[in-house]
Amino acid sequence: MATPRAIFWFRRDLRLADNPALLAAAQRGDGDVTALFIVDDTFARPAGTTRVEFLRRTLDSLDVSLGGRLNVLVGDPVEVLTRVARDVGARLVVATDDFGPRGRQRDRRVQEVLANRGISVEFVDSPYAVKPGTILSKSGTPYQVFSAFRRSWELEATTAPLTSPSAVSWRATESVTLDELSSRAASSRPAYFGDLPDAKAAVTIEAGEPAAQRQLTRFASSVDDYQGSRDFPGVEGTSHLSAYLRFGSLHPRQVLWELSGDAEGRRTFRAEIGWREFYADVMLHRPDSAYRVMQKSLEHLRVDDDARAVERFAVWAKGETGFPLVDAGMRQLLSEGWMHNRVRMVCASFLVKHLHLDWRWGARWFMWRLVDADLASNQHGWQWTAGTGTDAAPFERIFNPTLQAQRFDPRGEYVRRYVPELATVPVPDCLLPGGGAGLLSASYASPMLDALAERREALARFAQARDLARIRS
Ligand SMILES: Cc1cc2nc3c(=O)[nH]c(=O)nc-3n(C[C@H](O)[C@H](O)[C@H](O)COP(=O)(O)OP(=O)(O)OC[C@H]3O[C@@H](n4cnc5c(N)ncnc54)[C@H](O)[C@@H]3O)c2cc1C
């Protein structure tokens, strides 16, 4: 009888602890496991240099944890897995299941072709506390509204994490160097990106599973303040766990377990993890929601897409709008590959409701620059802000970028940190359009638009879209 050997295909689960799929591979392969990461260009395409660099560092850390036995290969997973299975004599590939629209297509194809070649492919667990698709209403349909989803989800979400596999012999096979990854970033740019540069940001988040564990422990000591501080971008009020969850350096199970409890901050924090799971669930049931407007009434919202729109998009992307909170957020994104949630909402709202651009343009830019870019959370975060998603903010709710700055960055800590032209401008001027236009803010951009006039324009376009939808229905 052939020795049982298994291949473990790492994807969005770049960790050893609490990895049920990895435990299954270790058990089924009788402790003889070939650990693989496959660089597949189809998936690298929307990623900019910053996310690819974060991935490189995460893989580097994983390789250290595996004693230098992580095999990184480039190519079509069908071909790579077939070749490696033949080379190491394995008949079984195990991976954590993927719930994204493209990932699912890929996995069905891999499973089918490899089965024909005598290799079975098994998908175990998921990157979520509760597997997308399993939370259903009493009538057996998926939830459209977060609060109802959350009630059912919370009953199942918190389960004890598992330990790392022990006594595994990791098998080394062919591997490229991790530097190979860098050349793969951002191979497709939409025309509206123009000549915006894809400079690598100085990511402030340390990559890898041990760093993720440390960050979780650090955050556990302040989670009870989360409710009061999470909306203020100038203070360290949120967990900064998103990039770890994105790449699976941590599993949400571990996070929910560590931060369980009934205090208000903990409950609010759990709800945020719940949003991530809700969006994955919506995306599973409605894969078209990655790019399609979910609210019929907004399908015909008029957006600008001419040469002037492209120019205005670039001003937004570079953080030169003259609205301090928007510019601080967009520059944090450029310089760190991350942005605070409150500011993501304000920047997204500005693009849709003040610049009248298609939310998909902004979503693509975020996918390009964010280290934590996740298709479900990002596209639905955008659809929520644009008023086009399931259980979204109503379109008429238009963030006033100046009031948002005054309310959530009252001491100007955040805007002055990320907009150096405002570093010496005191409150309240540093929060005003153009930095109050005093002498100290002379080098800062003048506001690119009249926020009140553009708000009226957005509402007029909204009324038009609604009328058109009524006529067509
Ligand atoms: C326009 C827009 C785009 C976004 N794009 C992404 C994205 O690509 N990837 C991403 O992970 N999050 C995205 N978010 C959600 C949210 O902004 C980030 O998850 C959060 O800022 C990450 O910081 P944190 O880990 O400190 O969050 P915390 O406040 O500490 O929250 C803990 C975790 O909960 C999850 N979470 C929190 N808020 C949300 C939310 N609104 N939707 C879904 N999950 C949430 C994240 O996994 C986060 O790490 C987006 C939000 C908006 C409005």
Neighbouring-strand partners of residue 393: none
Mean model confidence pLDDT for the chain: 94
pLDDT at 3 over 70: no
Q: How far is CA 374 from CA 287, 365, 418, in A?
A: 14, 12, 24
Q: Calculate Rg over the CA atoms of the chain.
A: 23
In a domain, 255, yes or no: yes
**For 270-300, what is each residue's pLDDT tens digit?**
999 999 999 999 999 999 999 999 888 898 9
**Are 256 and 342 members of one domain?**
no
**Are 25 and 53 members of one domain?**
yes
In a domain, 184, yes or no: no
**For 122-131, what is each residue's pLDDT tens digit?**
999 999 999 9
Ligand 1 pocket: which of 269, 341, 379 to mutate (most atoms <8 Å of CB)? Answer: 341
Confirm or reject: Cβ of 34 under 6 Å from ligand 1.
no
Taking the model in full, what pTM does it have?
0.96
CA 384 to ligand 1: nearest atom: 53
**For 333-389, what is each residue's pLDDT tens digit?**
999 999 999 999 999 999 999 999 999 999 999 999 999 999 999 999 999 999 999
Q: Indicate the residue among 228, 255, 285 that finishes a domain.
A: 285
Nearest CA-CA partner of 156 in 132, 179, 129, 176:
129
CB atoms within 10 A of CB 194: 13
- Report the alpha-carbon angle 397-400-404, nearest 5: 110
**Are 120 and 11 members of one domain?**
yes
**Span from the CA of 259 to the centroid of ligand 1 (angstroms):** 17
**Are 59 and 86 members of one domain?**
yes
- Predicted pLDDT of residue 37: 96
Across 133-137, 195-199, 233-237, 286-290, least confident range: 195-199
Range of the structural domain that residue 305 is part of? 296-467
CA 273 to ligand 1: nearest atom: 34
Nearest CA-CA partner of 6 in 37, 28, 39:
28
pLDDT at 144 over 70: yes
Confirm or reject: Cβ of 372 under 6 Å from ligand 1.
yes
Confirm or reject: Cβ of 278 under 6 Å from ligand 1.
no
In a domain, 93, yes or no: yes
In a domain, 194, yes or no: no
**Are 447 and 336 members of one domain?**
yes
**Are 254 and 393 members of one domain?**
no
Domain count, the chain: 3
**Are 121 and 139 members of one domain?**
no
**Span from the CA of 457 to the centroid of ligand 1 (angstroms):** 29
What is the CATH classification number for the domain harbouring 86?
Answer: 3.40.50.620
**For 170-199, what is each residue's pLDDT tens digit?**
999 988 888 777 776 656 788 999 989 888
Length of the chain: 473
Residue 202 pLDDT grade (very low, low, confident, very high; cuts 50, 70, 90)? confident
What is the CATH classification number for the domain harbouring 231?
Answer: 1.25.40.80
**Are 223 and 134 members of one domain?**
yes
Question: 3-class DSSP state for residue 67?
Answer: coil
Confirm or reject: Cβ of 364 under 6 Å from ligand 1.
no
**Are 13 and 35 members of one domain?**
yes
**Are 103 and 229 members of one domain?**
no
**Are 381 and 324 members of one domain?**
yes
In a domain, 180, yes or no: no
- Predicted pLDDT of residue 214: 98
For residue 396, give the amino acid letter.
E
**Span from the CA of 89 to the centroid of ligand 1 (angstroms):** 42
What value does the mean pLDDT take over residues 298-326?
97
**Are 320 and 268 members of one domain?**
no
Q: What is the DSSP string of 329-344?
A: HHHHHHHHS---HHHH
**For 26-53, what is each residue's pLDDT tens digit?**
999 999 999 999 998 877 777 888 999 9
Helix, strand, coil: what percent of the chain each, to 5?
55, 5, 40
